[in-house]
Chain A
C-alpha cells in the first residue's frame, strides 16, 4: 500500500466548510483549534478557487526536522503523527510548516500555548487504538476501524479525496480527463458566461406574426 495522502480538487470545492465541520465534530476539537480549513483564492471574483487544507503528511516533513524533542514519527502508511506527552508546545513546527497545520490550544490565561494539535489523518496517536486516552488526546482513530478520514469521506462534492496516494491520484486523473478543464467544465458557462474572446450566441428574435392570424 502506498502512502496515505490528501488531494483537494479545486474545480469541485464549493467552500461549504463541511470538511472543517466534520473534523471538528469527529474529534471534538476545542475552540481556537482548526485541524482543517478552507482557503479561497480570489474570493468573490469570477473563477475563484477554494481548497481544503490540513496537514499534508509530508514525505519529508519539516516539522519532524525542527522538533527539538523529536516527538514526531511517521507510520508505515505515511501518516505523520506526534506524541503529545513529549511535546513542549514550543511552536517550532508551526514556523516550519508551509501549510500552517500545527495548532496550539490556549492552555490557561495570558495566551499560554498548550501542546501542539494537528490533523492525524484520523489515525489517532501513540496510545492504545480506540482507547479513551487516544480519543481525548488525538481524536478518533478511524484508520484502525478500516475507515478513511471523516473530512474526505463526507465531502459532498468529493472535492477532497483522502487515502492511498496512488488510488486517489487515479481517481483525480480519471475525473480530469472526463470533464475537461476551464470552460469545458460543466456549469462554467452557466455561472460565468462564455469564455473571453468568444461571442455569446444572440437571442433569437421572436417570429413575426403572420397577417390575419389569430393569437
Chain B
C-alpha cells in the first residue's frame, strides 16, 4: 500500500515536471534578419560609353561639378 502510494506520488511528480516544461519561457522578440537584394544587378556609373570604365575620370568630373556649387571659390 505504502509502496503504491510512493509510486503514484513519483508518477505525479514526473507528470507535473513534464507538464510544466511546456510552459517554459520562450524568446518573444523577433530577430531581424537583413534581407538581400533580389533584383537585377546595376552597373557602375563609369561603366558606359562615355567613361569607358575609367573611374578616375568619372570621379574628377564629379569633383569638378561638386566644387562648382561653391560660389566662394567661383567668385575668387
A residues whose Cβ falls under 8 Å from a Cβ of B: 1, 64-65, 67, 69-73, 75-77, 81-83, 85-86, 123, 125-130, 141, 143-148, 152-153, 158, 161-164, 167-168, 171, 174-175, 178
Say if the beta carbon of B44 comes within 8 Å of chain A.
Answer: yes
On whether the beta carbons of A85 and B48 are closer than 8 Å, the reply is no
In the bound assembly, the distance between CA atoms of A146 and B51 in angstroms comes to 8
Tell me the dominant secondary structure on chain B's binding face: loop
Range of interface residues on B (Cβ < 8 Å) = 20 to 34
Given contacts A86-B38, A163-B62, A164-B66, 19 further A-B contacts (CB under 8 A): A65-B32, A73-B39, A75-B42, A83-B40, A126-B41, A128-B43, A141-B45, A144-B48, A144-B51, A146-B62, A148-B66, A148-B69, A152-B69, A153-B69, A158-B69, A161-B69, A163-B66, A167-B67, A168-B66
In the bound assembly, the distance between CA atoms of A71 and B35 in angstroms comes to 10
Count of inter-chain pairs, beta carbons less than 8 A = 96
- Contact residues in A for B37 (Cβ distance below 8 Å): 70-73, 83
- Look across to chain B and name the residue whose beta carbon is closest to the beta carbon of A73: B37
